[in-house]
Structure 1
Amino acid sequence: MLFFRLFTFCGLFRAGDDLMKELRADVLIVGGSLGGCAAALAASQAGFKVILTEETDWLGGQLTSQAVPPDEHGWIERMGCTRSYRRLREGVRAYYRKFYPLTPQAKSDPFFNPGTGWVSPLCHEPKAALFILEALFAPLTSSGRLIILREHKAIAADTAGDRVRAIKLRDLRSGAEKTISARYFLDATELGDLLPLTGTEFVTGAESRAQTGEPNAKDRPEPRNVQAFSVCFALSYHPGEDHTIEKPINYEFWRDYEPKLTPAWPGKLFSWTISNPRTLQPQTYHFDPEGETGRAFSGLWTYRRILDRKNFQRGFMPSDITLMNVPMLDYLEGDITCADEEERRRHIERAREQSLSFLYWLQTEAPRPTGGYGFPELKLRADVVGYTSDGLAKAPYIRESRRICAEFTVCEQHVSAALRPRDNRAEQFEDSVGIGYYRIDLHPTCGGDNYLDIESLPFQIPLGALLPVRVENLLPACKNIGTTHITNGCYRLHPVEWNIGEAAGLLVAFCLERNLAPRAVRDFGPRLADFQKLLMRSGIELAWPPDIDPNEGDPHRHAV
């Protein structure tokens, strides 16, 4: 019953949010993303008073409110993530073993994958991760070290010179406003929303080759050329039933939509034939809720399946549940990083309509593997994503954020396998605060670029990429660090974002204890060494083994 009481506790706490008009903390973390959650745990466990805010009612960002099962590398079960991220993963597996009627084989599998999806070794329901995050936060909120303000949005900032003094928040339910002052501020929003509010220098979109020296950079800067975002949703499949949704108003527009990309997209976006991300040649994928066998046949039903009914006792699950985060949902009609509030709202509404139109296409016009068209048996599972009004995920899946102008920027030449042919690891950084791995994976952009998907090497997260060039007491805590448009493509995934947030939380704790500025940690070798010892004691790996084989890291290397 303990886990269920946690949700009751959180509900009671929310009722009192409006009573607090002015608050003060050691650390204010704006954004309940994965990085924000990791930062909040790290800083509050270190003994400091932390306030964490989130625009939705679910913490966890891409893992929960955005409904994206974790994209991870091939070594994840034995190395390449922080101890606390591993604890989160183990908690998810324990959740299923505790509460679900698993088969004996599934229950005893140390690497149990609830959905056996082939995108990740741990595909699971968003609520499972939410459950564990709430459990991790419970003792910290009970002790008063951590206050969580859900459904709150940052709307203004008070700054003085190179420092931030306070952030004004609006309660999205009541409209009430409150001001929070702190010694440190962490931007853990999905789009880097604190950066323009505080006047922190940042970049968006694609840099030029002259700016970064990257072979795949643009001829000139294109600040509004940003990767597509997507609004995801969950489906189950019920033979003999008809769950067709109401036809979206602009369905014909999306059904006939052809991306205008370079190199060219092979045709309509709603099709099983799309661009192969690595070769850019047309590739036909498969979709078969009844007979799909997974990655060997590029199966999109099993790709991000989050519950596989074969893992549960006979009769418990009437259907698999799969999460749709597929290329057909990539929204290419506009950029939301540079948009004002009205433009951002409009683009997100259109992206939600695109997702519903794709669902309607699936139910009515998508070619079936055995002939015929449409899968009316597909059921939109609003319950899986938290009962939103349209049944889609609470928040869009954001791939690319505003990024700080940093003391150090990670570029393509630091991590690209092709540019480092004699290396098995990326550039080694003396100021490493963590490690990660993923291919440089850029989805099509609203500026007209097709995929850029190239091999990278196991990399480090340099502390310099977490330090703004000017502002002293604001740090990035997720995908808004000092990367480029290109290297964002490998630093944006779940375990890396968690590591970034945890390192940022520990950095502010280290600075608060010693009355230091963050850049003073990086600038003085003995002090940096002390901080890195703290990171290692906290379970953060700072370097990949020198004999690592990069070919083992790509979880999709066997997919057609």
Structure 2
Amino acid sequence: MDRRNFIGRLTAGGLAASALPHLAFPAPVSYVSRAGAKEMKADVVIAGGGLGGFAAGMAALRNGLKVIMTEETDWIGGQITQQGVPSDEHQWIETTGATQMYRDYRNGVRDYYRKYYPMREEARKNPLLNPGNSTGARRLGHEPKVTLAVMYQMLAPYLSNGQLTLLLEHKVIDADNDGEMVRSLLAKSRIRGSETVLEAPYFIDATELGDLLPLTNTAYVTGTESNKQTGEMHAPDQADPDNDQAFTLCFAVDYLEGEDHTIDKPDEYEFWRNFEPKMKPPWSGKLLDWHYSNPSTLEPRLLGFDPRGGNTGDLLNLWNYRRLVHKDNFEPGFFKGDITVVNWPQNDYFLGSLIDVPEETFKKHVARATQLNLSLLYWLQTEAPRMDGGRGWPGLRLRKDVMGTEDGMAKYPYVRESRRIKALFTILEEHVGRENRASVTGNPNVEKAENFYDSVGIGYYHIDLHPSTGGDNYIDFRSFPFQIPLGALIPETKENLFPANKNIGTTHITNGCYRLAPVEWSIGEAVGLLLAFSSKRRVRPREIREGKLLAAFQQFVRSQGIHTHWPDQV
């Protein structure tokens, strides 16, 4: 992976763009950066087939644009598929707080199970079917391959008519820039090694780490901003551009009572078995332990674990927490056991960042995260204390097929924090955080997030920052249901490149509530609609926010099934 260092990398100074001169939008150019590379052209080129990229592509396609989408792995779907993470969602998700297309997708997942799986009648008739009966914010636990199938069903018409070109296992490795414009991208096939020049009037960075930003010389921020820079209540005194949230390499297991599926002892088992995180404030002890730091209080908290799905009393049963399949939802004997995905405090990896590092460093951290996972699994199989007084669950079986990989690990790390654009507008803690908002408004009873005049979507999650590479423990506190401002989707320094993942204009703090699956989808869909509207009106996207077309664009967004304001009763 050609992960270049951006020499001019910025820390967050200034929260609004200075005025930019009016630029006429150029016609598409014909440009070849490599001898022998073939050329492809479209109305929009999207790098990254995750949730934001998929939603942006669908929005553009349904409004008549021709799209080329690249994806680094062989699965589209991002965090829900290639990264194996059941979506964390808020309590209103079934009726509001996400786009209509996102809810259609969720219903498509349920319908897929009802149509193709032998389900118990009670489960089949449940309008809020949760195949995994996962707990808390995981209201639709299901297998990654089901989302993959539903997404291909949604894309099928546009693949058939040629409106969409999908380049799997292609990574963008270079870009041609002309001042404030991106002229083309160069994508390389991981299979054949061939290269393709991709040209379009508009480009979308929907990669997991914001890979196009350094390639296109787009100004961006990484890591933590300081309190002095942002005024945020929970920001540190000193900025640290290398301090990023942990990533997690997920894996799936099932449990077969009475069988022994114990893996070979991992090479780094002794290291991880004895590893004690050095955090500020302190961690609860060893990483491989049933205790962890309570995210909101940072006090040691005990977790329960029973892969039979049994009652663990007052303790959260980690087995049920992110369960993908609950065998009791299906006809007896169809599944030998439940299937759950391991995305727990015990396999968060924070010994190094994946952002702006060489290829070898990226691979090293992923390899060590794999060793952490295998060590956790071996510990669970052999040494983990059981609530009945025993030790270990040898019936736990690594399900390589669920993740679609030879080693059983997810195809790509679950990345919580990306490069973030220097945007026309940056979302701060004072806009969405309950305590900070009460402080800046002088109203201890404030009940709503900031009302953004340029809202193009809504979302919600509490501000949830996992332990970081700089040694920060959890930072976890309450927020309000919020809006997605258009200004956070437009870079200061580029006219035709737009973010559609975790790379929008947030801070390290506010990224903690804008990074979840439904919000990433909403961001991508808004960006796809922005480019469709701009193309039809023949105006620069930033002119829509600055001029008289904003109201018309917001009405266009709403007409496509997107709320721009939360209902009053929420």
- The aligned counterpart of 1:511 is 534
How big is the shift at 1:296? Answer: 5.0
Looking at structure 2, the residues matched to 382 and 21 of structure 1 have their Cα atoms a distance apart, in angstroms, of 36
Looking at structure 1, the residues matched to 466 and 200 of structure 2 have their Cα atoms a distance apart, in angstroms, of 37
For the Cα contact (< 8 Å) 2:309–2:320, is it kept in 1? no
Which one is further off, 490-499 or 287-296? Answer: 287-296
- The count of corresponding residues between Structure 1 and Structure 2 is 528
- The aligned counterpart of 2:152 is 134
Looking at structure 2, the residues matched to 297 and 244 of structure 1 have their Cα atoms a distance apart, in angstroms, of 26
For the Cα contact (< 8 Å) 1:425–1:546, is it kept in 2? no
How big is the shift at 1:142? Answer: 0.7
How big is the shift at 1:273? Answer: 0.5
- The aligned counterpart of 1:67 is 84
AA aligned to 2:59 is A
How big is the shift at 1:372? Answer: 2.0
Question: Quick check: 1:92 aligned with 2:109?
Answer: yes
- The aligned counterpart of 2:521 is 498
- Pair 1:380–1:82, CA change in 2 (3 A): same
Q: Residue 131 of structure 1 aligns to a residue in which SS?
A: helix
Q: 2:265 aligns with which of 247, 250, 258?
A: 247
How big is the shift at 1:294? Answer: 7.3
Q: TM-score, normalised by structure 2?
A: 0.91
Question: Quick check: 1:53 aligned with 2:76?
Answer: no
Q: Deviations over 1:443-472 (max 9, x none)?
A: 000100000000000000000000101200
Q: Residue 481 of structure 1 aligns to a residue in which SS?
A: coil
For the Cα contact (< 8 Å) 2:206–2:499, is it kept in 1? yes
Looking at structure 2, the residues matched to 210 and 440 of structure 1 have their Cα atoms a distance apart, in angstroms, of 20
How big is the shift at 1:247? Answer: 1.5
- The aligned counterpart of 1:212 is 230
- The aligned counterpart of 1:169 is 187
- The aligned counterpart of 1:397 is 414
For the Cα contact (< 8 Å) 1:424–1:458, is it kept in 2? no
Pairing of 1:329-344 with structure 2 (within 5 A): 329-344=347-362
Looking at structure 2, the residues matched to 361 and 515 of structure 1 have their Cα atoms a distance apart, in angstroms, of 60
- Unmatched tracts of structure 2, length 5 or more: 1-35, 439-443
AA aligned to 2:62 is Q
Looking at structure 1, the residues matched to 403 and 298 of structure 2 have their Cα atoms a distance apart, in angstroms, of 32
Q: Which has the higher helix share?
A: 1
- The aligned counterpart of 1:76 is 93
Looking at structure 1, the residues matched to 269 and 309 of structure 2 have their Cα atoms a distance apart, in angstroms, of 28
Looking at structure 2, the residues matched to 181 and 245 of structure 1 have their Cα atoms a distance apart, in angstroms, of 48
- The aligned counterpart of 1:35 is 52
- The aligned counterpart of 2:21 is none
AA aligned to 1:477 is A
Q: Residue 157 of structure 1 aligns to a residue in which SS?
A: strand
Looking at structure 2, the residues matched to 250 and 118 of structure 1 have their Cα atoms a distance apart, in angstroms, of 32
For the Cα contact (< 8 Å) 1:295–1:303, is it kept in 2? no
Identity, % of aligned positions: 55
- Pair 1:295–1:142, CA change in 2 (3 A): farther
AA aligned to 1:45 is R
Q: Residue 521 of structure 1 aligns to a residue in which SS?
A: helix
- The aligned counterpart of 1:537 is 559
Looking at structure 2, the residues matched to 57 and 115 of structure 1 have their Cα atoms a distance apart, in angstroms, of 25
- The aligned counterpart of 1:546 is 568
Question: Quick check: 1:276 aligned with 2:299?
Answer: no
Looking at structure 2, the residues matched to 295 and 41 of structure 1 have their Cα atoms a distance apart, in angstroms, of 44
Where has structure 1 moved over 4 Å in runs of 4 or more?
none
AA aligned to 1:84 is M
Question: Quick check: 1:443 aligned with 2:466?
Answer: yes
How big is the shift at 1:293? Answer: 3.6
AA aligned to 1:30 is A
How big is the shift at 1:297? Answer: 2.5
For the Cα contact (< 8 Å) 1:118–1:294, is it kept in 2? no
AA aligned to 2:182 is V
Looking at structure 1, the residues matched to 513 and 313 of structure 2 have their Cα atoms a distance apart, in angstroms, of 21
- Pair 1:263–1:394, CA change in 2 (3 A): same
Looking at structure 2, the residues matched to 485 and 206 of structure 1 have their Cα atoms a distance apart, in angstroms, of 5
Measured on the aligned residues, the alpha-carbon RMSD in Å equals 1.2
Q: Deviations over 1:203-225 (max 9, x none)?
A: 00000111111011111210010
Question: Quick check: 1:477 aligned with 2:495?
Answer: no
Q: Residue 201 of structure 2 aligns to a residue in which SS?
A: strand
Q: 1:468 aligns with which of 477, 491, 494?
A: 491
How big is the shift at 1:371? Answer: 1.5
AA aligned to 1:259 is P
Which one is further off, 469-478 or 336-345? Answer: 336-345
- The aligned counterpart of 2:305 is 287
How big is the shift at 1:80? Answer: 0.8
- The aligned counterpart of 1:556 is none
Q: 1:105 aligns with which of 87, 103, 122?
A: 122
- The aligned counterpart of 1:355 is 373
For the Cα contact (< 8 Å) 2:305–2:312, is it kept in 1? no
For the Cα contact (< 8 Å) 2:309–2:317, is it kept in 1? no
How big is the shift at 1:191? Answer: 0.3
Looking at structure 2, the residues matched to 257 and 434 of structure 1 have their Cα atoms a distance apart, in angstroms, of 42
How big is the shift at 1:20? Answer: 8.0
AA aligned to 1:527 is L
How big is the shift at 1:46? Answer: 0.9
Question: Quick check: 1:191 aligned with 2:214?
Answer: no
Q: Residue 248 of structure 2 aligns to a residue in which SS?
A: coil
